[in-house]
C-alpha cells in the first residue's frame, strides 16, 4: 500500500471532520429566533443595497452570533465571507487583498465547522479551496487547495459547485506538477459536467497537462475539443494558439517540415517609430497581447494580437524589463524596484544589521502563477519574489563570480533560463527548494550551429513546452531549440522584409509566435 | 236488556280493547307520520298532533262510556269526534285519524243500536262502509244482531266490479288509481260513479265511465284496438344482432323448432341452420330499417313497412335472413422473427405467419417475442384480401399513472395530459398496467413519488405487460406552472435507480420535447473516417493529427500532418466541417477525399466510410440512464434475436448498457450482463482494449484490485484502443493513470 501523501492525509482529515461535524449538528432555533434572524438578514441586505457596507456586515455578524441556530446563520456568514472574498472562479484569483483573504478564510471555515449540512457548506469549502490557491494568500498551499476541492466532490457530490471543485482539484495538482492526477480530475469535470462552467477550462488544462507530459497528440485533441464544443467561447482563441504552438513545435519537426517560422507579413503593429527611444523589452500574455516597454519613458504599450494599439500603461521610470503572467498581470523591473500589477515593491536584502536595496534588477520573469524571478545583474544573482519584498529567495548565484548574466526567461515546469554572456552559455535553473547556489543548475547543451549563430546572445524566451528562443544581436538571428539542445530552426537574416537590422528584444506568444523588436527599423516583426 | 247490555257491554269492551291497541300502534307511528322538518312545520305538526291526541282522548272516553253502558254520554262523545271529522277540525289522511274516525262511526252505530235507534245505526254503518269499505267489524265479539245490521247495510252499499280485456294483461286504473292488470275479478266498491281506464303497449288506451249500484255485480269486457305490430325475425346462422331504426332489439339465438321446417325448406336451409324466432315487438305503422349484423359476416340492411290489421294483428314473420360469411387472411412478419402472434387476444401462431379465415374488420394484434420486445397495434382485414403486417418489434412503456389519486372517480391532476402525450410515442408501445397503482400507495401521494415505486410492483407490472420501461408521475410542488415529477424505471433492471425529471404539463411544447426525448433512439453507430483533425493559425483546412490504424482514412493513405481539403466535394475549413461532412454521409458510403501534405501538392483519394460504435457519457446529468439501460438492454437482445450476436450495434448496445450500469454504481451488473457477453478483437478504436479498461474500471470500483490490475495492464498495452468511439481518447493512458493509484 502506498504511503499517504500530505494531500491524501489532508483529504482524509477533511472527510473525518465533515462526518463528525455532520453528527454534531446543532438543535433547531425557536420560531421567534428564526423570525428575528430573517429580519436582521433582510435588513443587512437592504443596507448593502444602500451602500452601507459596514453596517450591513455588522448585521450579518449579528445574525450569525445572536442566532447561531437559525436557518439564516450560514447564509449570513456566507454573505460576509463573500463580501471579503468575492472571487468565484479561477480567472479572478489574485484580485483580493491579504487581510480580506484572512478574514474570509476564518468565516468560511466557521461555516464548514458549524454548519456542514447547510446549503452554503459546499460553497464555503469551495471558497476555502480558492483561497488556498490564491496567489495573494501568503499561506497559499496547493495541497490544502486540493483537499478542499476534493472535499467538495466527496462530501457534497450533489452540490452545484462540484464541477468547479473538480476543476480546482485538477488545477491544484496541475500547479503542483502532478499532471497525471490533474488530468484525472479535469477529465471527470469535462465528462461528468460536459455543459458545466468548468468543462471548457478542464479541457483546456488537460491539453496543457498533456503538452507538458509530452503527449503532443493528446494535447492537440483536447485543445481541439475546446474549439469543437464552443468555437466562439472565451478559451477558443487560446486553444487555437496552443494548437498552433504544439503542432508547430512538437508535430511538424517530426515530419521534417521546414521552415517552421515565417514572417507574418500581415502583422502591422501600431507603433510610431519615433516614440520608441530607449532599450526595449517585450512580453506576451496568453491572449497574445504584446507588451512593449520603452526604457526611456518607462511606459508599457499594449498591442493586441492583430497589432492594434490596445492601451498604454502607467510609466515606471527606469524600467528596463517587462514580464506578464497567465492572468495578464504585468511585472516590470526598474533597477531597485519592481512593479507587480499596481503594486510597487522595493525589494531589500539583509546585510549586516540593516536592510539594503537591490540596485540592478534588470530582468524579471514569472515563475508559477504569481511569483516572480528577478535577475540582479549587479550581483549576478537570480532571486525569487513571493510577495514579501524583504525576503527574496536566492535561486542562483554564479559560483565563479565571473559570469555576466543577462536576460531571464521562465520555461516549462517552472525552470528559469538566463544567458551568461561572458561564457556564451545558457543556464537552466530548476524550480523548487532544491536549488542551492547553482548546485542543480545546468548548462543547456547548444546545437552544432550555435557556434555560428550565437555570437552575442542578447535576449531569450522560453515556453512551457521546453522550447528556448535565443536572440543574437551580432548574427541577427533567432535560434529556436529545445532545452536539451536540439535545434528546431534558426531565423537567419535574409534580404527582404524578414531581415532584422538590429534585433534587440524578443518575446514568444502562446501560439509560438516570435516577436522581435528591430531597433534599427524601430518596429516589431512577428514570425509564425 | 241487562243481558243485551251485558253482551253489549262485553261486545263493546273487547273491540274497544282491540281499538285501543290499534290506537297505541298508530300512536307509535305518530312521530314517524309527523316526522321531523323545519321548526315552523314542526310547530304546526306538534299542534296537529295535539288535536289528534285530543280527539283520541274523546274516542277513548266514548269507548269507556259505551263499555260502562253510559250510552248518552258515549253517543255525545262519538258525535263530537265525528263532527270534528266532518268539519275538518280533526285532520284527515293519517292512519291514526282513519282509525279514530272509523272507530267513532263504528262505536256510534253500535250505541244507536243499543239505544234501539236502528235507522241512525244503519246510517252510521253506511257512513262507515263508504268511509272505509274494508272496515273490519269484529264479528266474533259484537252481538249477532248488530252484525246482521252491519251486513244488511253493507249489502245495500257495496257493488262488485270485474274487468276483462282483449288481449289480457292491460294496466287498469280506477278513478286514476292503478288497481292492477286485467283481468280484474269482483273488486268490492262502494256504490257510485267510476272512471275505468285500460292501457297496454301496442294498443290505444281505453276509458269508460261506470255507474255502480249498491249490491250489484258488474262484468266489463273491453277490446283494445291495436296501434303497433310485431315482427318475427329468423337468421341463418343464429347469433346475429338485430336492430330496428338504429335501436338494438336483440340477438337471434338457438335453432328453430320443427314447426318452422317449412320456412327453413322454403329458404333452402337445414332446420338446424335456422335460428329460433326473435320477436321484435310493437313497431309503429310505417317504414322501418332492419339491420342484422354478425362478426365475420356481411351486415344486412332491410327496409320494411308495418301496417295495423284490426282483425288479425299477429306478428309478421319475415323470411329467414341469410348472412354471408366475410373473411380475409393475414400475413404477419416481425423483426426479429419468431414472435408470438395474438389476434384479438387469441394465440394465432408465430411470425412469419400466414393465416386464412380471419374475420373482416379491425383486429387487435400483438406480436410478442420472449426476448426482443413486442409490437402492439391493430390490423384491418378486408373481405377476400390478405392484410399485410411487417413490423419491427419495439420497446414497451407501461404508464402506471399518477402516484396520487384524483378526486372521486376522476383521473389525478396531470394524468390525462401525460397519458395523451405518451400516446404519441412512436418508438415504443404504450400500455397501462392493469389496475394501476395500489390504493394504499395512491393515498401516500408525494411520498410514493419521493420513495419511488416498490421494485416488486415494477417487476409485476413489467411481467404482466412485457414492459421495458415503467413510468409514473406525481404532481410537482411549487411555482405557478403545472408540472409533474416523472419517474422512469428500467423494468428489467431492478437495481437501476429511476430517472427523475420535471415535466411541464401546461406547455404543449415542453410536453412534446419530453416525448421527443423518450422517442429519440440513442445512436449506436456513426459514420467513421478514422482521422482526428485540428485547426491551426494560417491553415485554411483541418490538419490530420491522428490517423487510426486500419481506418478508412488509413486505408486511403491519409497521413499525419496532411491538410484535409474536401470530403465528398464539400470544402472543409475546420474540424467541425469535417465532422459535419462525415455525419452527412451514410455509413459505408464511398466518397472522394482531397488531402494535401505539408508543403506538398494536393491529391485526391477515394474512401469508403466505416462505422464507429458510439458510447454515451458515463456521468452526463442530462442523460436518462434508466431509459438508456432499458433501451440498450432491449437493443442488445434485439440484435441477438436477429442472429447478429457480433454486430456493431449489439457491441455498442452492450457498451452503453455497461455505461448505464456503471453510472448507477452497478459494476457487478456491468461486468456480468454487459461486458461479460462482449468480445472484441484487439486493435485500434473500440476494441478489446476498451473492454479491458471498462472491466478494470468496474473491478477497481468493486475493490477487486488484483483482477483490476490484470485488466488495466491489458488495456495499457493497447495504445490504439479508444473510449467513447473509434475516434475517442486512448484507454491506455487512462488505464495507466488508474494503475498508478493501485
Within 8 A of B735 by CB-CB distance, chain A residues are none
- pLDDT score, position B28: 43
A251/B537 CB distance under 8 A: no
Residues of chain B predicted below pLDDT 50: 1-39
Other C-beta atoms closer than 10 Å to the C-beta of B425 total 17
Put residue B396 in one of left, alpha, beta given phi > 0 → left and psi -120 to 50 → alpha: beta
Q: Is the pLDDT of residue A392 over 50?
A: yes
- pLDDT score, position A27: 54
Within 8 A of A257 by CB-CB distance, chain B residues are 561, 598-599
Within 8 A of A247 by CB-CB distance, chain B residues are 534, 536, 543, 545
Cβ contact A371:A386 at 8 Å: yes
Give B688→chain A minimum CA distance, Å.
21
| Minimum-distance CB partner of B620 among A194, A224, A240 | A194
Question: Judged by CB atoms within 8 Å, which residues 552-611 of B form the interface with A?
Answer: 560-561, 574-576, 579, 598-599
pLDDT single digits (tens) A495-508? 888 889 999 999 99
Question: Judged by CB atoms within 8 Å, which residues 252-281 of A form the interface with B?
Answer: 252, 255, 257
Other C-beta atoms closer than 10 Å to the C-beta of B222 total 16
Compare all CA atoms of chain A with the CA of B623 and give the residue at the minimum distance: A192
A217/B543 CB distance under 8 A: no
| Minimum-distance CB partner of A252 among B546, B598, B736 | B598
- pLDDT score, position B188: 87
Q: Is the pLDDT of residue A493 over 90?
A: no
- pLDDT score, position B311: 83
Q: Could you give the count of Cα atoms lying within 13 Å of A361 in the half-sphere of its Cβ?
A: 30
Q: What are phi and psi of B506, to 5 degrees?
A: -95, 10
Instruction: For residue B215, give every residue at least 6 positions away whose Cβ sits within 8 Å of its Cβ, in sequence order, or none.
Output: B155, B156, B157, B158, B159, B191
Give B536→chain A minimum CA distance, Å.
5
A244/B537 CB distance under 8 A: yes
Residue A204 CA: distances (Å) to CA of A145, A210, A225: 20, 10, 8
B534/A223 CB distance under 8 A: yes
Residue A369: band (very low, low, confident or very high) from pLDDT cuts 50, 70, 90 = low
Question: Judged by CB atoms within 8 Å, which residues 404-433 of A form the interface with B?
Answer: none
DSSP annotation of B217: E
A4 touches chain B (CB under 8 A): no
A3 touches chain B (CB under 8 A): no
B536 touches chain A (CB under 8 A): yes
Residue A20: band (very low, low, confident or very high) from pLDDT cuts 50, 70, 90 = very low
Compare all CA atoms of chain A with the CA of B559 and give the residue at the minimum distance: A255
Give B534→chain A minimum CA distance, Å.
6
Within 8 A of A187 by CB-CB distance, chain B residues are 734
Q: At what angle do helices B95-115 and B39-67 cross, to 10 degrees?
A: 20
Q: Is A55 helix (H, G, I), strand (E, B) or coil?
A: helix
- Greater pLDDT, A450 or A420: A420
What count of CB pairs under 8 Å joins A to B? 81
Number of residues that this document lists for chain A? 528
- pLDDT score, position A423: 84
- pLDDT score, position B733: 94
Give A403→chain B minimum CA distance, Å.
40
Q: Is the pLDDT of residue A284 over 90?
A: yes
A247/B579 CB distance under 8 A: no
Distance between CA atoms of residues B534 and A207, nearest Å: 13
Question: Judged by CB atoms within 8 Å, which residues 149-188 of A form the interface with B?
Answer: 180-181, 183-184, 187-188
Q: What is the mean pLDDT of chain A?
A: 88
Instruction: For residue B583, give every residue at least 6 positions away whose Cβ sits within 8 Å of its Cβ, in sequence order, or none.
Output: B526, B527
Question: pTM for the whole thing?
Answer: 0.73
Give the burial string for A351-373 (b: 16+ CB within 10 Å, else e). eeeeeeebeebbbbbbbbbbbbb
- pLDDT score, position A430: 85
- pLDDT score, position A412: 83
A255/B576 CB distance under 8 A: no
A218 touches chain B (CB under 8 A): yes
Compare all CA atoms of chain A with the CA of B731 and give the residue at the minimum distance: A218
Distance between CA atoms of residues B550 and B564, nearest Å: 18
Q: Which three cell numbers stand for residue A151?
A: 472535499
Give B427→chain A minimum CA distance, Å.
28
Q: Is the pLDDT of residue A435 over 60?
A: no
Give A306→chain B minimum CA distance, Å.
13
DSSP annotation of B233: E
Within 8 A of B548 by CB-CB distance, chain A residues are none
Give A240→chain B minimum CA distance, Å.
6
B737/A228 CB distance under 8 A: no
B574/A231 CB distance under 8 A: yes
A195 touches chain B (CB under 8 A): yes
Within 8 A of B543 by CB-CB distance, chain A residues are 247
Q: Is the pLDDT of residue A76 over 50?
A: yes
Cβ contact B742:B696 at 8 Å: no
Within 8 A of B599 by CB-CB distance, chain A residues are 257
B537 touches chain A (CB under 8 A): yes
Q: Which residue has the cell 535577475?
A: A375
- pLDDT score, position B31: 42
B705 touches chain A (CB under 8 A): no
Specify the DSSP element, H or E, that contains B181: strand B177-181
- pLDDT score, position B538: 84
Within 8 A of A243 by CB-CB distance, chain B residues are 534-536
Q: Is A197 helix (H, G, I), strand (E, B) or coil?
A: coil
Within 8 A of B622 by CB-CB distance, chain A residues are 195
Residue A361: band (very low, low, confident or very high) from pLDDT cuts 50, 70, 90 = very high
Distance between CA atoms of residues B614 and B728, nearest Å: 9
Q: Which residue has the cell 482514412?
A: B553
| Minimum-distance CB partner of B733 among A194, A218, A255 | A218
Compare all CA atoms of chain B with the CA of A248 and give the residue at the minimum distance: B536
- pLDDT score, position A1: 35
Give A108→chain B minimum CA distance, Å.
28
Q: At what angle do helices B731-741 and A179-192 cross, to 10 degrees?
A: 120
Compare all CA atoms of chain B with the CA of A246 and give the residue at the minimum distance: B536
Amino acid at each position: 500500500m502506498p504511503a499517504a501523501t500530505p494531500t491524501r492525509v489532508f483529504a482524509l482529515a477533511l472527510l473525518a471532520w465533515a462526518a463528525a461535524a455532520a453528527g454534531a449538528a446543532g438543535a433547531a432555533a425557536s420560531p421567534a429566533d428564526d423570525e428575528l434572524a430573517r429580519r436582521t438578514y433582510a435588513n443587512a441586505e437592504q443596507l448593502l443595497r444602500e451602500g452601507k457596507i459596514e453596517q450591513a456586515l455588522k448585521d450579518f455578524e449579528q445574525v450569525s452570533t445572536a442566532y447561531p441556530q437559525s436557518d439564516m446563520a450560514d447564509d449570513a456568514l456566507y454573505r460576509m465571507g463573500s463580501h471579503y472574498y468575492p472571487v468565484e472562479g479561477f480567472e479572478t484569483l489574485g484580485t483580493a487583498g491579504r487581510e480580506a483573504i484572512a478574514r474570509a478564510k476564518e468565516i468560511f471555515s466557521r461555516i464548514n465547522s458549524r454548519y456542514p449540512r447547510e446549503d452554503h457548506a459546499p460553497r464555503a469549502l469551495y471558497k476555502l479551496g480558492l483561497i488556498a490557491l490564491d496567489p495573494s494568500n501568503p499561506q497559499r498551499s496547493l495541497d490544502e487547495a486540493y483537499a478542499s476541492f476534493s472535499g467538495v466532490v466527496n462530501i457534497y457530490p450533489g452540490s452545484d459547485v462540484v464541477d468547479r471543485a473538480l476543476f480546482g482539484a485538477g488545477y491544484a495538482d496541475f500547479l503542483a506538477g502532478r499532471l497525471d492526477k490533474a488530468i484525472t480530475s479535469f477529465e471527470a469535470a469535462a465528462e461528468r459536467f460536459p455543459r458545466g462552467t468548468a468543462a471548457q477550462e478542464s479541457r483546456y488544462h488537460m491539453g496543457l497537462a498533456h503538452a507538458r507530459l509530452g503527449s503532443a497528440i493528446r494535447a492537440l485533441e483536447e485543445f481541439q475539443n475546446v474549439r469543437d464544443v464552443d468555437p466562439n467561447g472565451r478559451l477558443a482563441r487560446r486553444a487555437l494558439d496552443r494548437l498552433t504552438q504544439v503542432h508547430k513545435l512538437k508535430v511538424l519537426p517530426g515530419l521534417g517540415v521546414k521552415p517552421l517560422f515565417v514572417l507574418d507579413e500581415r502583422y502591422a503593429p501600431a507603433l510610431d517609430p519615433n516614440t520608441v527611444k530607449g532599450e526595449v523589452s517585450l512580453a506576451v500574455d496568453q491572449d497574445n497581447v504584446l507588451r512593449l516597454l520603452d526604457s526611456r519613458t518607462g511606459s508599457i504599450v499594449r498591442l493586441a494580437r492583430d497589432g492594434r494599439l490596445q492601451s498604454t500603461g502607467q510609466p515606471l521610470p527606469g524600467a528596463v524589463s517587462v514580464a506578464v503572467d497567465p492572468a495578464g498581470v504585468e511585472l516590470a523591473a526598474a533597477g531597485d524596484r519592481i512593479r507587480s500589477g499596481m503594486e510597487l515593491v522595493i525589494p531589500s536584502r539583509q546585510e549586516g544589521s540593516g536592510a539594503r536595496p537591490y540596485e540592478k534588477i534588470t530582468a524579471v520573469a514569472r515563475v508559477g502563477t504569481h511569483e516572480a524571478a528577478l535577475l540582479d545583474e549587479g550581483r549576478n544573482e537570480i532571486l525569487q519574489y513571493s510577495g514579501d519584498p524583504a525576503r527574496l529567495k536566492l535561486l542562483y548565484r554564479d559560483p565563479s563570480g565571473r559570469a555576466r548574466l543577462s536576460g531571464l526567461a521562465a520555461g516549462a515546469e517552472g525552470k528559469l533560463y538566463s544567458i551568461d554572456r561572458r561564457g556564451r552559455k545558457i543556464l537552466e535553473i530548476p524550480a523548487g527548494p532544491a536549488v542551492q547556489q547553482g548546485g542543480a543548475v545546468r548548462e543547456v547543451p547548444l546545437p552544432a550551429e550555435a557556434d555560428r549563430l550565437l555570437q552575442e546572445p542578447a535576449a531569450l524566451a522560453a515556453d512551457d513546452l521546453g522550447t528556448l528562443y535565443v536572440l543574437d544581436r551580432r548574427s541577427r538571428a533567432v535560434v529556436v531549440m529545445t532545452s536539451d539542445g536540439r535545434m528546431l530552426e534558426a531565423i537567419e537574416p535574409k534580404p527582404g522584409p524578414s531581415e532584422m537590422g538590429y534585433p534587440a528584444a524578443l518575446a514568444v506568444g502562446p501560439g509560438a509566435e516570435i516577436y522581435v523588436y528591430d531597433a534599427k527599423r524601430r518596429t516589431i516583426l512577428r514570425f509564425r | 236488556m241487562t243481558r243485551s247490555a251485558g253482551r253489549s257491554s262485553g261486545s263493546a269492551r273487547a273491540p274497544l280493547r282491540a281499538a285501543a291497541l290499534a290506537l297505541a300502534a298508530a300512536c307509535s307511528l305518530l312521530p314517524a307520520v309527523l316526522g321531523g322538518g323545519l321548526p315552523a312545520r314542526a310547530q304546526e305538526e306538534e299542534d296537529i298532533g295535539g288535536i289528534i291526541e285530543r280527539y283520541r282522548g274523546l274516542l277513548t272516553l266514548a269507548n269507556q262510556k259505551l263499555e260502562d253502558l253510559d250510552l248518552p254520554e258515549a253517543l255525545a262523545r262519538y258525535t263530537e269526534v265525528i263532527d270534528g271529522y266532518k268539519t275538518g277540525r280533526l285532520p284527515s289522511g293519517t292512519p291514526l285519524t282513519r282509525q279514530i274516525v272509523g272507530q267513532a262511526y263504528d262505536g256510534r252505530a253500535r250505541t244507536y243500536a243499543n239505544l234501539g235507534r236502528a235507522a241512525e245505526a244503519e246510517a252510521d254503518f253506511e257512513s262507515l262502509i263508504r268511509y272505509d269499505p274494508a272496515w273490519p267489524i269484529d264479528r266474533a265479539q259484537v252481538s249477532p244482531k248488530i252484525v246482521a245490521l252491519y251486513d244488511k247495510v253493507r249489502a245495500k252499499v257495496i257493488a262488485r266490479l270485474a274487468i276483462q280485456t282483449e288481449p289480457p294483461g292491460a294496466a287498469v286504473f280506477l278513478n286514476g288509481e292503478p288497481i292492477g292488470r286485467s283481468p280484474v275479478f269482483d273488486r268490492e266498491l262502494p256504490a257510485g260513479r267510476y272512471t275505468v281506464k285500460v292501457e297496454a303497449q301496442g294498443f290505444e288506451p281505453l276509458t269508460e265511465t261506470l255507474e255502480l249500484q249498491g249490491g250489484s255485480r258488474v262484468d266489463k269486457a273491453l277490446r283494445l284496438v291495436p296501434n303497433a305490430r310485431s315482427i318475427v325475425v329468423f337468421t341463418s346462422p343464429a347469433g346475429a344482432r338485430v336492430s330496428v331504426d338504429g335501436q338494438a332489439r336483440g340477438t337471434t339465438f338457438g335453432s328453430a323448432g320443427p314447426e318452422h321446417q317449412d320456412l327453413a325448406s322454403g329458404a333452402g336451409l337445414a332446420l338446424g341452420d335456422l335460428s329460433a324466432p326473435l320477436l321484435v315487438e310493437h313497431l309503429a305503422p310505417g317504414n322501418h330499417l332492419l339491420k342484422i349484423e354478425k362478426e365475420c359476416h356481411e351486415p344486412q340492411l332491410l327496409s320494411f313497412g308495418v301496417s295495423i290489421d284490426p282483425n288479425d294483428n299477429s306478428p309478421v314473420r319475415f323470411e329467414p335472413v341469410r348472412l354471408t360469411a366475410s373473411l380475409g387472411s393475414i400475413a404477419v412478419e416481425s423483426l426479429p422473427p419468431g414472435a408470438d402472434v395474438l389476434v384479438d387476444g387469441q394465440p394465432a401462431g408465430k411470425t412469419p405467419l400466414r393465416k386464412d379465415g380471419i374475420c373482416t374488420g379491425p383486429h387487435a394484434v400483438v406480436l410478442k417475442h420472449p426476448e426482443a420486445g413486442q409490437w402492439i397495434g391493430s390490423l384491418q382485414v378486408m373481405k377476400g384480401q390478405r392484410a399485410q403486417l411487417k413490423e419491427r418489434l419495439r420497446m414497451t412503456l407501461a404508464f402506471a399513472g399518477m402516484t396520487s389519486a384524483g378526486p372521486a372517480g376522476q383521473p389525478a391532476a396531470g394524468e390525462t395530459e401525460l397519458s395523451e402525450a405518451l400516446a404519441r410515442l412512436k418508438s415504443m408501445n404504450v400500455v397501462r398496467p392493469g389496475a394501476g397503482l395500489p390504493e394504499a400507495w395512491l393515498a401516500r401521494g408525494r411520498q410514493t413519488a419521493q420513495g419511488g415505486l416498490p421494485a416488486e410492483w415494477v417487476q409485476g407490472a413489467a411481467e404482466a405487460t412485457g414492459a421495458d420501461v415503467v413510468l409514473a408521475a406525481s404532481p410537482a410542488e411549487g411555482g405557478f406552472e403545472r408540472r409533474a415529477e416523472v419517474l422512469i424505471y428500467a423494468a428489467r433492471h431492478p437495481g437501476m435507480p429511476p430517472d427523475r425529471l420535471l415535466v411541464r404539463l401546461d406547455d404543449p411544447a415542453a410536453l412534446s420535447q419530453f416525448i421527443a426525448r423518450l422517442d429519440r433512439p440513442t445512436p449506436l453507430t456513426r459514420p467513421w473516417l478514422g482521422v482526428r483533425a485540428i485547426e491551426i493559425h494560417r491553415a485554411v483546412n483541418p490538419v490530420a493529427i491522428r490517423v487510426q490504424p486500419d481506418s478508412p482514412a488509413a486505408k486511403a493513405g491519409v497521413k499525419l500532418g496532411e491538410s484535409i481539403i474536401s470530403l465528398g466535394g464539400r470544402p472543409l475549413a475546420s474540424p467541425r466541417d469535417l465532422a459535419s461532412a462525415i455525419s452527412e454521409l451514410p455509413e459505408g458510403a464511398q466518397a472522394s477525399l482531397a488531402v494535401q501534405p505539408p508543403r506538398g501538392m494536393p491529391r485526391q483519394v477515394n474512401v469508403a466510410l466505416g462505422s464507429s460504435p458510439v458510447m454515451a457519457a458515463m456521468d452526463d446529468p442530462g442523460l436518462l440512464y434508466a431509459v438508456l439501460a432499458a433501451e440498450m438492454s432491449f437493443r442488445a437482445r434485439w440484435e441477438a434475436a436477429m442472429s447478429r450476436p457480433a454486430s456493431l450495434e449489439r457491441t455498442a448496445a452492450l457498451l452503453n448498457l455497461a455505461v448505464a450500469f456503471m453510472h448507477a454504481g452497478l459494476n457487478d451488473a456491468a461486468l456480468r450482463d454487459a461486458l461479460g457477453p462482449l468480445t472484441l478483437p484487439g486493435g485500434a478504436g473500440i476494441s478489446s482494449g476498451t473492454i479491458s479498461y471498462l472491466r478494470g474500471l468496474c473491478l477497481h470500483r468493486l475493490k477487486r484490485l488484483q483482477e483490476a490490475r490484470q485488466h488495466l495492464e491489458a488495456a495499457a498495452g493497447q495504445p490504439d484502443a479508444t473510449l467513447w468511439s473509434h475516434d475517442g481518447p486512448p484507454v491506455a493512458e487512462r488505464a495507466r493513470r488508474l494503475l498508478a493509484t493501485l
